[in-house]
Homo-oligomer: A and B are copies of this chain.
Protein backbone atom coordinates (compact mmCIF):
# COMPACT_ATOMS: atom_id res chain seq x y z
CA UNK A 1 0.00 0.00 0.00
CA UNK A 2 1.25 3.49 -0.79
CA UNK A 3 2.68 5.38 2.16
CA UNK A 4 0.53 8.35 1.23
CA UNK A 5 -2.61 6.59 2.48
CA UNK A 6 -3.98 7.26 5.93
CA UNK A 7 -5.91 3.96 5.81
CA UNK A 8 -9.34 5.45 6.43
CA UNK A 9 -12.36 3.88 4.71
CA UNK A 10 -16.03 4.83 4.65
CA UNK A 11 -18.71 2.16 4.50
CA UNK A 12 -21.95 3.54 3.03
CA UNK A 13 -24.95 1.43 4.03
CA UNK A 14 -24.81 -0.49 7.31
CA UNK A 15 -26.78 -3.65 6.57
CA UNK A 16 -25.22 -7.12 6.82
CA UNK A 17 -22.86 -6.51 3.90
CA UNK A 18 -21.74 -3.06 5.11
CA UNK A 19 -21.19 -4.37 8.63
CA UNK A 20 -19.09 -7.19 7.16
CA UNK A 21 -16.94 -4.70 5.26
CA UNK A 22 -16.42 -2.63 8.43
CA UNK A 23 -14.97 -5.76 10.08
CA UNK A 24 -12.67 -6.41 7.10
CA UNK A 25 -11.18 -2.90 7.22
CA UNK A 26 -11.02 -2.49 11.00
CA UNK A 27 -9.48 -5.97 11.46
CA UNK A 28 -6.69 -4.87 9.09
CA UNK A 29 -5.97 -1.73 11.12
CA UNK A 30 -7.94 0.76 9.03
CA UNK A 31 -10.07 3.51 10.55
CA UNK A 32 -13.69 2.88 9.50
CA UNK A 33 -16.54 5.37 9.28
CA UNK A 34 -19.97 3.82 8.79
CA UNK A 35 -22.76 5.90 7.25
CA UNK A 36 -26.43 4.98 7.09
CA UNK A 37 -29.55 7.10 6.63
CA UNK A 38 -31.62 5.02 9.07
CA UNK A 39 -31.22 5.72 12.76
CA UNK A 40 -32.31 2.20 13.79
CA UNK A 41 -29.63 0.72 11.54
CA UNK A 42 -27.00 3.12 12.90
CA UNK A 43 -28.03 2.27 16.47
CA UNK A 44 -27.69 -1.49 15.95
CA UNK A 45 -24.64 -1.87 13.74
CA UNK A 46 -21.90 -1.76 16.40
CA UNK A 47 -23.64 -4.44 18.46
CA UNK A 48 -23.88 -6.62 15.35
CA UNK A 49 -20.20 -6.06 14.58
CA UNK A 50 -19.13 -6.75 18.16
CA UNK A 51 -20.97 -10.09 18.12
CA UNK A 52 -19.25 -11.09 14.89
CA UNK A 53 -15.85 -10.03 16.23
CA UNK A 54 -16.36 -12.16 19.35
CA UNK A 55 -17.12 -15.16 17.10
CA UNK A 56 -13.92 -14.45 15.13
CA UNK A 57 -11.93 -14.27 18.36
CA UNK A 58 -13.24 -17.71 19.41
CA UNK A 59 -11.83 -19.17 16.18
CA UNK A 60 -8.49 -17.31 16.52
CA UNK A 61 -9.24 -15.30 13.38
CA UNK A 62 -8.25 -11.91 14.84
CA UNK A 63 -4.91 -10.95 16.32
CA UNK A 64 -6.08 -8.16 18.63
CA UNK A 65 -8.65 -7.72 21.39
CA UNK A 66 -12.21 -7.16 20.12
CA UNK A 67 -12.34 -3.76 21.86
CA UNK A 68 -9.25 -2.50 20.04
CA UNK A 69 -10.77 -3.35 16.64
CA UNK A 70 -14.18 -1.91 17.60
CA UNK A 71 -12.52 1.34 18.67
CA UNK A 72 -11.47 1.99 15.05
CA UNK A 73 -15.12 2.09 13.90
CA UNK A 74 -17.40 5.14 14.18
CA UNK A 75 -20.99 5.61 13.00
CA UNK A 76 -22.19 8.71 11.14
CA UNK A 77 -25.49 10.30 10.11
CA UNK A 78 -23.87 12.92 7.87
CA UNK A 79 -22.41 11.64 4.60
CA UNK A 80 -20.15 14.65 4.06
CA UNK A 81 -18.52 14.20 7.45
CA UNK A 82 -18.31 10.43 6.94
CA UNK A 83 -16.30 10.67 3.73
CA UNK A 84 -14.20 13.72 4.56
CA UNK A 85 -10.52 12.96 3.92
CA UNK A 86 -10.97 9.19 3.40
CA UNK A 87 -8.89 6.98 1.10
CA UNK A 88 -11.66 4.67 -0.09
CA UNK A 89 -15.45 4.37 -0.06
CA UNK A 90 -17.28 1.02 -0.12
CA UNK A 91 -20.99 1.37 -0.93
CA UNK A 92 -23.41 -1.39 0.19
CA UNK A 93 -26.90 0.14 -0.01
CA UNK A 94 -30.00 -1.76 -1.23
CA UNK A 95 -29.41 -3.36 -4.63
CA UNK A 96 -31.62 -1.36 -6.98
CA UNK A 97 -30.63 1.36 -9.43
CA UNK A 98 -33.17 3.63 -7.71
CA UNK A 99 -31.42 3.22 -4.35
CA UNK A 100 -27.88 3.46 -5.67
CA UNK A 101 -28.10 6.38 -8.13
CA UNK A 102 -28.76 9.18 -5.56
CA UNK A 103 -26.00 7.81 -3.33
CA UNK A 104 -23.52 8.09 -6.22
CA UNK A 105 -24.76 11.58 -7.09
CA UNK A 106 -24.03 12.62 -3.50
CA UNK A 107 -20.64 10.86 -3.36
CA UNK A 108 -19.73 12.44 -6.71
CA UNK A 109 -19.31 15.83 -4.99
CA UNK A 110 -18.72 14.85 -1.34
CA UNK A 111 -16.03 12.13 -1.57
CA UNK A 112 -12.40 13.36 -1.81
CA UNK A 113 -11.23 13.57 -5.43
CA UNK A 114 -8.60 10.84 -5.05
CA UNK A 115 -10.80 8.29 -3.29
CA UNK A 116 -12.08 5.36 -5.39
CA UNK A 117 -15.68 4.30 -4.75
CA UNK A 118 -16.48 0.58 -4.94
CA UNK A 119 -20.00 -0.86 -4.99
CA UNK A 120 -20.95 -4.17 -3.36
CA UNK A 121 -23.49 -4.76 -6.15
CA UNK A 122 -23.75 -8.48 -6.92
CA UNK A 123 -25.43 -8.08 -10.29
CA UNK A 124 -26.15 -4.50 -11.37
CA UNK A 125 -23.15 -3.16 -13.33
CA UNK A 126 -21.61 0.18 -12.29
CA UNK A 127 -22.54 1.75 -15.62
CA UNK A 128 -26.23 1.52 -14.60
CA UNK A 129 -25.87 4.00 -11.73
CA UNK A 130 -22.66 6.02 -12.29
CA UNK A 131 -23.11 7.26 -15.87
CA UNK A 132 -24.24 10.77 -14.88
CA UNK A 133 -21.46 11.37 -12.34
CA UNK A 134 -18.71 13.90 -13.06
CA UNK A 135 -16.18 11.70 -11.26
CA UNK A 136 -17.46 8.40 -12.66
CA UNK A 137 -13.91 7.38 -13.65
CA UNK A 138 -13.22 6.52 -9.98
CA UNK A 139 -16.34 4.35 -9.57
CA UNK A 140 -16.47 0.56 -10.08
CA UNK A 141 -17.89 -2.68 -8.68
CA UNK A 142 -16.09 -4.31 -5.74
CA UNK A 143 -18.38 -7.30 -5.21
CA UNK A 144 -17.74 -9.35 -2.05
CA UNK A 145 -19.06 -12.73 -0.96
CA UNK A 146 -21.04 -12.75 2.26
CA UNK A 147 -19.66 -12.50 4.86
CA UNK A 148 -16.55 -10.81 3.42
CA UNK A 149 -14.51 -11.32 6.62
CA UNK A 150 -14.78 -15.11 6.11
CA UNK A 151 -14.85 -15.44 2.30
CA UNK A 152 -12.09 -13.23 0.90
CA UNK A 153 -12.93 -13.04 -2.83
CA UNK A 154 -13.72 -9.57 -4.24
CA UNK A 155 -14.70 -9.13 -7.91
CA UNK A 156 -13.47 -5.81 -9.32
CA UNK A 157 -15.58 -4.87 -12.35
CA UNK A 158 -14.92 -1.55 -14.08
CA UNK A 159 -17.58 0.37 -15.96
CA UNK A 160 -16.52 1.35 -19.51
CA UNK A 161 -15.39 4.70 -18.09
CA UNK A 162 -13.56 3.47 -15.00
CA UNK A 163 -9.85 4.43 -15.14
CA UNK A 164 -7.41 1.50 -15.18
CA UNK A 165 -5.42 3.19 -12.42
CA UNK A 166 -8.51 3.18 -10.20
CA UNK A 167 -8.88 -0.59 -10.58
CA UNK A 168 -5.20 -0.91 -9.65
CA UNK A 169 -5.72 1.28 -6.57
CA UNK A 170 -8.72 -0.71 -5.34
CA UNK A 171 -6.80 -3.96 -6.03
CA UNK A 172 -4.12 -2.64 -3.65
CA UNK A 173 -6.67 -1.57 -1.04
CA UNK A 174 -8.30 -5.03 -1.09
CA UNK A 175 -4.95 -6.80 -0.88
CA UNK A 176 -3.92 -4.52 2.00
CA UNK A 177 -6.97 -5.53 4.05
CA UNK A 178 -6.44 -9.25 3.40
CA UNK A 179 -9.08 -9.81 0.73
CA UNK A 180 -8.46 -11.66 -2.55
CA UNK A 181 -9.36 -9.30 -5.43
CA UNK A 182 -9.75 -10.48 -9.01
CA UNK A 183 -9.98 -8.39 -12.18
CA UNK A 184 -13.04 -8.78 -14.39
CA UNK A 185 -12.05 -7.04 -17.62
CA UNK A 186 -15.47 -5.83 -18.76
CA UNK A 187 -19.05 -5.70 -17.54
CA UNK A 188 -20.80 -9.06 -17.97
CA UNK A 189 -24.20 -10.07 -16.55
CA UNK A 190 -23.67 -11.76 -13.15
CA UNK A 191 -19.91 -10.99 -13.27
CA UNK A 192 -17.86 -14.21 -12.94
CA UNK A 193 -18.85 -15.64 -9.56
CA UNK A 194 -22.59 -15.64 -10.10
CA UNK A 195 -22.23 -16.85 -13.68
CA UNK A 196 -20.28 -19.90 -12.44
CA UNK A 197 -22.74 -20.45 -9.60
CA UNK A 198 -25.64 -19.98 -12.02
CA UNK A 199 -24.27 -22.50 -14.53
CA UNK A 200 -23.95 -25.12 -11.79
CA UNK A 201 -27.33 -24.24 -10.25
CA UNK A 202 -29.14 -24.35 -13.57
CA UNK A 203 -27.81 -27.87 -14.16
CA UNK A 204 -28.70 -28.88 -10.58
CA UNK A 205 -32.30 -27.63 -10.98
CA UNK A 206 -32.63 -29.36 -14.36
CA UNK A 207 -31.36 -32.69 -12.95
CA UNK A 208 -33.80 -32.41 -10.04
CA UNK A 209 -36.62 -31.55 -12.45
CA UNK A 210 -35.88 -34.65 -14.52
CA UNK A 211 -35.93 -36.86 -11.45
CA UNK A 212 -32.26 -37.85 -11.84
CA UNK A 213 -31.66 -37.48 -8.08
CA UNK A 214 -33.01 -35.84 -4.93
CA UNK A 215 -31.87 -32.33 -4.01
CA UNK A 216 -30.09 -33.83 -0.99
CA UNK A 217 -28.17 -36.26 -3.21
CA UNK A 218 -27.31 -33.53 -5.73
CA UNK A 219 -26.06 -31.48 -2.77
CA UNK A 220 -23.81 -34.34 -1.65
CA UNK A 221 -22.21 -34.47 -5.11
CA UNK A 222 -20.68 -31.11 -4.17
CA UNK A 223 -20.38 -31.22 -0.36
CA UNK A 224 -18.63 -34.60 -0.15
CA UNK A 225 -17.36 -34.61 -3.74
CA UNK A 226 -16.37 -31.73 -6.02
CA UNK A 227 -16.45 -29.08 -3.29
CA UNK A 228 -13.52 -30.59 -1.38
CA UNK A 229 -10.89 -29.77 -4.02
CA UNK A 230 -12.66 -26.53 -4.93
CA UNK A 231 -12.17 -25.23 -1.37
CA UNK A 232 -8.49 -24.72 -2.17
CA UNK A 233 -8.16 -25.02 -5.99
CA UNK A 234 -10.19 -23.52 -8.82
CA UNK A 235 -11.75 -25.51 -11.69
CA UNK A 236 -8.84 -24.93 -14.12
CA UNK A 237 -6.16 -26.03 -11.64
CA UNK A 238 -8.33 -29.02 -10.68
CA UNK A 239 -8.53 -30.37 -14.23
CA UNK A 240 -4.88 -29.43 -14.89
CA UNK A 241 -3.97 -31.99 -12.20
CA UNK A 242 -6.58 -34.56 -13.32
CA UNK A 243 -4.84 -35.76 -16.49
CA UNK A 244 -1.23 -36.98 -16.72
CA UNK A 245 -0.01 -34.18 -19.02
CA UNK A 246 -2.15 -31.32 -17.72
CA UNK A 247 -5.14 -29.31 -18.87
CA UNK A 248 -4.75 -29.80 -22.64
CA UNK A 249 -4.51 -33.56 -22.06
CA UNK A 250 -7.66 -33.36 -19.91
CA UNK A 251 -9.50 -31.33 -22.56
CA UNK A 252 -8.67 -33.92 -25.21
CA UNK A 253 -10.00 -36.72 -23.00
CA UNK A 254 -13.11 -35.11 -21.51
CA UNK A 255 -13.93 -32.12 -23.74
CA UNK A 256 -16.35 -34.21 -25.84
CA UNK A 257 -18.27 -35.38 -22.71
CA UNK A 258 -18.65 -31.80 -21.49
CA UNK A 259 -19.66 -30.60 -24.95
CA UNK A 260 -22.35 -33.30 -24.82
CA UNK A 261 -23.55 -31.95 -21.46
CA UNK A 262 -23.76 -28.43 -22.95
CA UNK A 263 -25.57 -29.62 -26.06
CA UNK A 264 -28.24 -31.27 -23.92
CA UNK A 265 -29.13 -27.89 -22.35
CA UNK A 266 -29.65 -25.53 -25.26
CA UNK A 267 -33.27 -24.67 -24.42
CA UNK A 268 -32.91 -23.29 -20.89
CA UNK A 269 -36.02 -23.33 -18.74
CA UNK A 270 -36.73 -20.73 -16.08
CA UNK A 271 -37.09 -22.16 -12.58
CA UNK A 272 -40.89 -22.35 -12.72
CA UNK A 273 -43.32 -22.18 -9.80
CA UNK A 274 -43.98 -25.93 -9.72
CA UNK A 275 -40.29 -26.82 -9.78
CA UNK A 276 -39.49 -24.23 -7.11
CA UNK A 277 -42.23 -25.58 -4.84
CA UNK A 278 -40.91 -29.13 -5.21
CA UNK A 279 -37.37 -28.08 -4.29
CA UNK A 280 -38.74 -25.98 -1.43
CA UNK A 281 -40.78 -28.97 -0.18
CA UNK A 282 -37.73 -31.23 -0.14
CA UNK A 283 -35.56 -28.63 1.58
CA UNK A 284 -38.21 -28.10 4.28
CA UNK A 285 -38.14 -31.82 5.07
CA UNK A 286 -34.35 -31.47 5.56
CA UNK A 287 -34.57 -28.18 7.50
CA UNK A 288 -37.71 -26.52 8.83
CA UNK A 289 -38.27 -22.82 8.16
CA UNK A 290 -38.01 -22.21 11.90
CA UNK A 291 -34.48 -23.64 11.87
CA UNK A 292 -33.10 -21.52 9.00
CA UNK A 293 -31.50 -18.96 11.32
CA UNK A 294 -29.86 -21.59 13.50
CA UNK A 295 -28.52 -23.28 10.38
CA UNK A 296 -27.07 -19.95 9.15
CA UNK A 297 -25.24 -19.63 12.47
CA UNK A 298 -23.94 -23.19 11.97
CA UNK A 299 -22.79 -22.28 8.44
CA UNK A 300 -20.89 -19.27 9.75
CA UNK A 301 -19.20 -21.34 12.45
CA UNK A 302 -18.20 -23.92 9.83
CA UNK A 303 -16.86 -21.12 7.60
CA UNK A 304 -14.83 -19.77 10.54
CA UNK A 305 -13.39 -23.20 11.30
CA UNK A 306 -12.60 -23.63 7.60
CA UNK A 307 -10.88 -20.22 7.43
CA UNK A 308 -8.72 -21.19 10.41
CA UNK A 309 -7.97 -24.58 8.79
CA UNK A 310 -7.05 -23.01 5.44
CA UNK A 311 -4.64 -20.55 7.07
CA UNK A 312 -2.94 -23.42 8.91
CA UNK A 313 -2.83 -25.72 5.85
CA UNK A 314 -1.41 -22.94 3.64
CA UNK A 315 1.36 -22.38 6.18
CA UNK A 316 2.19 -26.05 6.81
CA UNK A 317 1.56 -27.60 3.38
CA UNK A 318 1.69 -24.60 1.03
CA UNK A 319 -0.85 -22.76 -1.11
Contacts and interface: CB of A to CB of B under 8 A. Distances in A.
Interface residues of A, number: 113
A280 B246 contact: yes
A165 to B, nearest CB: 19
A212 B234 contact: no
A266 B268 contact: yes
Given A199-B203, A239-B201, A258-B198, A192 B219 contact: no
A41 interface: no
Interface string A199-222: 111111001101111111111111
A189 B153 contact: no
A317 to B, nearest CB: 5
A299 interface: yes
A314 to B, nearest CB: 9
Contacts of A202: 199, 258-259, 261-262
Given A222-B235, A224-B151, A258-B271, A247 B283 contact: yes
A99 interface: no
A227 B232 contact: yes
Task: Please give the count of copies of this chain that the complex contains.
Answer: 2
B225 A151 contact: yes
Nearest to A225: B153
A180 B226 CA distance: 13
Nearest to A233: B223
A313 to B, nearest CB: 5
Contact of A203 (B196, B232, B267): B196
Given A195-B207, A246-B284, A299 B241 contact: yes
A318 interface: yes
B231 A228 contact: yes
Which of A192, A268, A279, A313 gathers most chain B CB within 10 Å? A192
A151 B228 contact: yes
A150 B231 CA distance: 14
Interface string A265-296: 11110110000110110011011010010011
22 contacts: A145-B226, A152-B225, A184-B212, A184-B213, A186-B211, A192-B207, A196-B221, A198-B258, A221-B234, A222-B234, A222-B235, A223-B230, A223-B232, A227-B232, A229-B299, A231-B306, A233-B302, A236-B283, A262-B268, A302-B313, A305-B316, A306-B309
Q: What 7 pairs across the A-B complex have the smallest Cβ distances?
A: A219-B234, A262-B268, A227-B230, A153-B225, A231-B231, A199-B203, A182-B217
Given A196-B218, A223-B234, A302-B313, 19 more contacts: A152-B225, A153-B224, A185-B213, A189-B257, A189-B261, A195-B203, A195-B207, A198-B257, A199-B202, A199-B265, A202-B262, A216-B236, A222-B233, A230-B231, A237-B287, A246-B284, A248-B277, A259-B270, A266-B268
